[in-house]
Amino acid sequence: MTKGIIELDASFISTGNAVGKKEFEGPLGQFFDTHDTDDRFGKNTWEKAESEMQRIAFNMALKKAELGFDDIGAIFAGDLLNQCAGSSYGLLGCMIPYFGIYGACSTSGEGIMLASVMTTHKIFDLCAAVTSSHNCSAERQYRTPIEYGGQRAPTSQWTVTGSGAFIIGDGEAGKVKIKAGLPGRVIDKGINDANNMGAAMAPAICDSFCRFFAESGETPDDYDLILTGDLGHEGASILRDIMQIEGYKFGENYTDCGILIFDKNTQDTHSGGSGCGCSASVLSAYVLPEMEKGRFKRVLFVASGAMMSPDSIKQGESIPAVGHLLSFET
């Protein structure tokens, strides 16, 4: 068996994010860099609005670090839209070497990991990772247009309207270090309910956590914060259960980006947030800044993705999932 952990010596130089109205009204609203009051970001289609969010988030991250497009060696970007069109259109004009990636909601973790590999090994001085999702473009692509008003299942998650961008340098450059990564394996335990992605994703996330703990010798207690993105309430509860069966007890230090971003009681988002923009915006707006302030010293993050397509579900397939793990330290 080959090793799973990739040792990294990278760090976050800066981050940027942009979210929609509902996300701004949620518990983390005050932390986001910018939001739009009608989720349109000045555009006439939801798809263009999603691309525009990526552009805004990436430019925000560059501006904070006083960097220009020419400073970035390569960009890793992806989203939920068919053919990842949110990213290719959103980042047009940057003229930065571009790696398109796809990991559903895990895309942010995949991008940060690959960008960190590049800067750890001095392939480029600086790289960027950018992802997004938009509730309205996702709803009409995966389910039905918003206007249809379909009833949502109790276990369903609410696709976040948001984008997060990360500028990544070598281990000396920024305060929050990226110490290790572990790419996830695609696992399918037979869940075929697209309204319960948390259940489909939990086993893949469990696999990544278990492989990391086994190989590193660490335990959940070695971290101030264990974070998944995005299992939501349903998936996080399942993950706690199956981790305990594997011998790892998650305590109060465990939570999920999909739980953090919305208020369960007042925002009617059922099992919580999801989408490539969920963990990206929560990490960039809340978790990494709190690490800089000293609230969390060591954070273990697994970005989780459900890798089905609307067609594969219609064809009766179950839902494969993947979880990309990263460990952060100040």
Q: Is residue 83 part of the contact set for a copy of itself (CB under 8 A)?
A: yes
Cβ–Cβ under 8 Å, residues 244 and 284: no
**Three-state secondary structure call for residue 47:** helix
Phi and psi angles of residue 4, each rounded to the nearest 5 degrees, phi first? -105, -30
Shortest distance (Å) from residue 223 CB to a copy of itself: 21
* Binding footprint of a copy of itself, residue count (CB under 8 A): 63
Q: Is residue 19 part of the contact set for a copy of itself (CB under 8 A)?
A: no
Q: Is residue 97 part of the contact set for a copy of itself (CB under 8 A)?
A: yes
61 Cβ neighbours under 8 A, 6+ residues apart? 14, 15, 16, 128, 165, 166, 167, 284
Residue with Cβ nearer a copy of itself (267 or 318): 318
Q: Is residue 180 part of the contact set for a copy of itself (CB under 8 A)?
A: no
Residue with Cβ nearer a copy of itself (118 or 299): 118
Cβ–Cβ under 8 Å, residues 25 and 158: no
Tokens of 108: 């942010």
Cis check for the bond before 230: say yes or no (omega within 30 of 0). Answer: yes
Lay out the site mask for a copy of itself across 201-220 (x = CB under 8 A, - = otherwise): --------------------
Residue with Cβ nearer a copy of itself (80 or 160): 80
Q: Is residue 292 part of the contact set for a copy of itself (CB under 8 A)?
A: no
Task: Give dist(CA 34, CA 31) in Å, integer.
Answer: 9
Residue with Cβ nearer a copy of itself (60 or 128): 128
Among 42, 63, 82, 144, binds a copy of itself (CB under 8 A): 82
Task: Give dist(CA 86, CA 19) in Å, integer.
Answer: 15
Residue whose C-alpha is closest to residue 138's, from 89, 192, 85: 85
Residues in contact with a copy of itself by the rule CB under 8 A = 1-4, 6, 45, 47-48, 70-74, 78, 80-85, 88-89, 91-92, 94-104, 110, 114, 117-118, 121, 123-126, 141, 182-188, 305, 307-312, 315, 317, 320, 322
